[in-house]
Every structure is written in structure tokens, then in C-alpha cells.
Amino acid sequence: MSNKNNDDIPLAEQVATVSRRGFLKLAGASGLATAAGSLASASRAAAASPDGTPEQIHLTWGNEPATEIVISWASLAAAVNPRVRFGRAGETKATVHGIQRTYTDGLNGEIVCTYHARLRGLKPGTHYEYEVTADNDSNAAHPFSATFQTAPRGDAPFRWTSYGDLATPNTGWVLSSPQSRFAVQAVERFQPLFHLLNGDLCYANLNPTHQPEVWRDFGNNAQTSAANRPWMPCPGNHEVEFHNGEQGLDSYLARYTLPENGTRFPGRWYSFRVSSVLFISLDADDVVYQDAAAFVAGPSPLVPAASTGNPPIAPGTSFYIRGYSGGEQTRWLSETLRKAAEDDDIDWIVVQMHQDALTSSKTGNGSDKGIREAWLPLFDRYGVDLVLCGHDHDYERSFPVRGCNHHAGTDAATGQPVDTLQPRPVVTSHPADSAFDTSHGTIHLILGGGGTSAPLDVYGLDVGTGNPQAKVFTKPNRPMAGTTANTFVRQPADALEDAIWSAQRDTGTGYGIAVFDFDPGMRGGKTTITMNYYHAPGADQTPTANYELFETITLSKERRS
């Protein structure tokens, strides 16, 4: 959950009235963020006669990235005969029909229509052209067209990029910023094979009566890049929306077709492989202690549109989904990692999730013991190399960590010892060339600087030792009664620990993009991943297209084959 706020309003004083006679506030570790009031929809005004014209077009990998890709889109009205034409340059184009997927937004009653066309039997490492259209496409004479490239098969170098917390460039929405547009352009600047989007895609649940419109702004902005290369997301706390499915993820799940996981929870978590790198995407909402999705702060209920038939949401109500899978996600993760450990063709394991196990931001949310309990032992056991997160709106990198120190934390209120499962670094100083062998430990990266509007996170230092200090959630933090009748607030993280695992923090700006270049190496030799992190100086004050190199690290290990 993000806890960023309107820049000129003190954190504890932010309150905004939501249309339909309610207040909706979302709490982070150190305070409240506001929900939007009634907003005019410029996008609706521009669409006087909604039709099946494709928009919000984006790509995702299929089950096998070398041979399968999914093209997804939306339209303002139901499309008639939605379809994709595709093929290699100069070849006759094949046609695949889009499968419609709809949901009705549980707060404003809008019916959202999305479409998904799965392209199979593609050639590895090959460029394709495609068009998206429908019989009632107003641009049918000149339909939307773009290109994509399939993943290579076998040993081959490739590039991917990553950040989380993107939002939209429409400043009418809470936490949106023009920097979001520059962030999407940054992906195109580096021309990756694909992009990992680490949760909190658009913050629609901060704008509860306009959720589909916020999603639309997000999708049309991301289309600039996501129509050209797969954008592979994971859900964050801001994808959890009232009355939108059992876990509040209907908006997210309607828009994305993701690799199958073989469980009764499709789309929430998945894996895919490119060359000798296995990528695993997780839904940390399932294990975190933070009660970090929407809650109604009061004093009035949040009242959905009458057409939805949904009841008012009472003050103090939150949407806490910790444990929703009953352990199924963790069992799937364990089995996926076990199989990877037995596969000599997999050299690297990269995990993405939204919330953080290791973050020392003072004004951000904090580290979560739930992740440390459920997943870090699995990362240690099976040798996960990299964990990419968002959530706190900054950049931070850990040393390689393995195992934990017990009873190293303190209660934030009483100072009594608390077992935060403090991650143990395997090194505490940098090699001269910033090269790390991740076979000895996992590096965690906080990449929460996509494009959302937020003041720069401030990093904490222990007054006594001068060491970086982290906040840690060790128990649920459900909404509690506020100082005014029938109002509720959410408490910050309950524990503190020295962040002995923290290796690098960007104190200059919260915005940036991580660029990863994979080199498979030669058989019998080493394989490497080089990470260049680029930040956008000054973007916290004025949005900018200028991304500059902040640091470079190289991960290196022996090939398994």
C-alpha cells in the first residue's frame, strides 16, 4: 500500500470527500492518502458515441514466451467481431478472434469490456506485425497496428526492464502525475524484450467512483510501450477494490491474460522462462501483515451506485485479503522453485512482487514479516537470485541476504525486543567493481519509482548507531477508531530494526527504471546479469524525460550446464 499524499498537505491532515456520500481513505505505514472527489471525465466527453474501437492495447507472454503471446485490449462499447491480424513482414496475415471478458464495476456500475487474442505457433526470436480491429471499429480503415518480438529459445542474451507504482498522467486522479508518461517512454528508450510492472498499476481504488476511468487512463498511457512488448504485471494493494470480486481483483484480472499456474487462482501468480532465466510473479497481498488495500475512514459510509445492487460500505471496513489462497500460492511457489532447482538449464531465478521484505524508507510503508515468514526461507533454500518490488516509492538495494537474525528488532511503542526475522547479509561491504555472486544470497531491489505522484521517501537512521533503520510489520494493522466519532485510521508498522542488509539508497529522487542485461555466457563458464539503474533527478518537483545512470551492479555465477 502506498502512503504518498498531496504534496502541500500534512500527512495526518488529509481528508477528501468522495462522491456518493462517503470518505474513502487508504492507509500506509505512516499515515493516510486521500480518495478523489467527484471528477469530470474528459475521456467520456471525448467519446460521444462509444463503439468497439480498440484501446488500452497491451501484450503479455503466453505459457511459452518463445512461441506464444497474448494481445489484449478494451473498448468503450462491446466490440463486434473483435480480432487480430498478424504475421511476419511480407507474409499473408493470419486472423485470431478476441475472446470477450467483462465485469461490472462494483462501485459505479459501469460494464467494462476487454478482449484477449492468444497467438500460438510463433517462431522464437522473431519480429511480427499485427493489427487490432472490430466490425464497429471507428478506425477500421486504418486500424491500430504495431510490432512485437518473441523471446529467444536456448542460450541467448536479452534485456528486460522493471519498476512499480506507475499511476497515470492525468493529474485529476489521486497519486497520478505527468511523470507517468515519461516513465512509459523510458521503457521504450531502453528497448527491452519485456517489462516487469511490480504492482500498484494505476491506483484506481484511490478514486473509487471512477475506477474504470482511471484504468482506462493507465491503459492508454501504457499502450505506448505495452503494445510493442509484453508488460508482465503483479497485483499490488491498489489493485484490490471494493465489490470487485472475492479478492477485489476483477479489474486487474479482466484486463490481463497471464501464464497459467494450474491452480484455482488463475492470474494472481505465474511463472515464465526466457533463456536460462526463470521469472516468478507473486501476489504478496496473500501473505503480508499490512492491511493495505482500501478502507472506509468515515464518518459516512461509501455508497455504491444503486444500479450495482451492492450495499453501502460502513466506516471502518477494510478489504484485508491476507491468507486468501489458504497457502496454495506458497505451495505452488515451493513446487515451482523445487523444479527449477532440479533443472540444469535454469541458471537464474528472478521474483517480482509488490510489497517489500526489505525496505528502510522512513516515510514509506515498511518491511513485512509476512513475506519473511512465508517466502524468504524458500528463496534461501532454492537460491533465488533477485527479488524486484515496488510499494515504497524509491530505490533501495540490499546486500545479498541469506537466513535471519532472531529477536533483533524492537517494538516501536515500548522498545521491547521483537523477532522481526531480520535478514542476514552475507557481505556488508561492496566489492570494488560492485559484482556479486548471488549463489551465496538473494538481492532485493525496491523499484517503486514508476510515475506516481509522491514526495521522495525519507530514509531512517538509528539515532544511537547511525545505521539505517527499517520499520517492520509483524502483525495485522487493521483500521482503528480515530479521534473523531465514527472515523477510523490505520496504524503504522509496529516494530523497528537496524537495516544491516541495506546496501544502496537513492536519496535524490524517487523516480527511476532498472535495466537488466542478461548474458548466458559460455558452457562451463560464468553467466551474468548486469543491472543499470537510471533515476530522474528533479522529477519529484518537475516531471522530466531525463533519466540518468545512478548505479551499476553485476551479478555473476557459474553456469549449471
Residue 84, all three cell numbers:
487480430
Is the residue at 307 inside a domain?
A: yes
Query: pLDDT-based confidence at 53, cuts 50/70/90?
Result: very high
Instruction: Establish if 2 belongs to a structural domain.
Output: no
- Residues ≥6 apart with Cβ < 8 Å to 444: 356, 357, 358, 386, 387, 389, 397, 398, 401, 501
Q: Indicate whether 13 pLDDT > 60.
A: no
Q: Bin 265: left if φ > 0, else alpha if -120 < ψ < 50, else beta.
A: beta
Residue 464 has a pLDDT of 60
In a domain, residue 78? The reply is yes
> What is the pLDDT at residue 465?
66
CATH at residue 408: 3.60.21.10
For residue 451, the model assigns a pLDDT of 95
pLDDT at 6: 28
Q: Averaged over 97-109, what is the pLDDT?
A: 97
Distances in Å between the Cα of 439 and the Cα atoms of 280, 339, 526 are 18, 17, 12
Give domain status of residue 315, yes or no: yes
Which DSSP string corresponds to 490-525?
----SEEEE-TTEEEE--S-S-EEEEEEEE---TTS
Q: Treating both helix axes as pointing N-terminal to C-terminal, what angle do 179-190 and 211-226 enclose, rounded to 10 degrees?
A: 30
Q: What is the pLDDT of residue 395?
A: 96
| Distance, CA of 277 to CA of 516 (rounded, Å) | 12
What pLDDT does 235 receive?
98
Is residue 6 in some structural domain? no
Q: Among the listed ranges 40-49, 67-76, 79-88, 438-447, which one has the minimum average pLDDT value? A: 40-49
Q: What is the pLDDT of residues 507-529, one digit of tens each?
A: 999 999 999 999 999 999 999 99
Q: What's the pLDDT score for residue 49?
A: 83
pLDDT, tens digit, for every residue of 333-364? 999 999 999 999 999 999 999 999 999 998 88
pLDDT score, position 549: 98
pLDDT band at 48 (very low <50, low <70, confident <90, very high): low
Q: By percentage, how much of the chain surpasses pLDDT 90?
A: 83
Rounded to the nearest 5 degrees, what angle is found at the Cα of 416, between the Cα atoms of 412 and 418? 80
Does residue 1 lie in a domain region? no
Phi-psi region of 316 (alpha: psi -120 to 50; beta: other; left: phi over 0): left
The answer to whether 88 and 129 are in contact (CB under 8 A) is yes
Q: Residue 416 to residues 346, 411, 419, 467: CA-CA distances in angstroms?
A: 44, 5, 10, 19
Work out how many domains the chain is built from and give that number. Answer: 1
Supply the pLDDT for residue 463. Answer: 54
Q: Where are the beta strands (DSSP E) in 399-547?
A: 401-405, 409-411, 417-418, 422-425, 435-436, 443-447, 460-461, 468-473, 480-481, 488-489, 495-498, 502-505, 512-519, 526-535
pLDDT at 238: 96
Q: How confident is the model at residue 36 (pLDDT cuts 50, 70, 90)?
A: very low
Indicate the pTM of the whole model. 0.92
pLDDT at 306 over 60: yes
Cβ atoms of residues 383 and 347 within 8 Å: no
Does residue 381 form part of some domain?
yes
Helix (H) or strand (E) holding 253: helix 250-255
Q: Write the pLDDT tens digit of every residue in 160-182.
A: 999 999 999 998 999 999 999 99
Condensed to tens digits (0 to 9), the pLDDT of residues 419-438 reads 999 999 998 887 777 999 99
Reference 239, options 165, 150, 147; nearest CA is 165
Residue 185 has pLDDT above 60, yes or no: yes
Whether 4 is covered by a domain: the verdict is no
Q: Is the pLDDT of residue 47 over 60?
A: no
> Per residue in 191-209, pLDDT tens?
999 999 999 999 999 999 9
Helix or strand holding residue 27 (H, E): strand 25-27
Domain hosting residue 137, numbered range: 11-558
Question: Any idea what DSSP says for residue 295?
Answer: B
Task: Say which residue, 295 or 222, is predicted with more confidence.
Answer: 222
Exposure on the CB side of residue 41, measured as CA atoms within 13 A: 16
When pLDDT is averaged across residues 181-188 and rounded to a whole number, the result is 98
Instruction: Indicate the average pLDDT of the chain.
Output: 90
Range with the poorest average pLDDT among 91-105, 120-134, 481-495:
481-495
Cell 548505479 belongs to 551
| Segment among 94-103, 253-262, 264-273, 466-475 with least mean pLDDT | 466-475
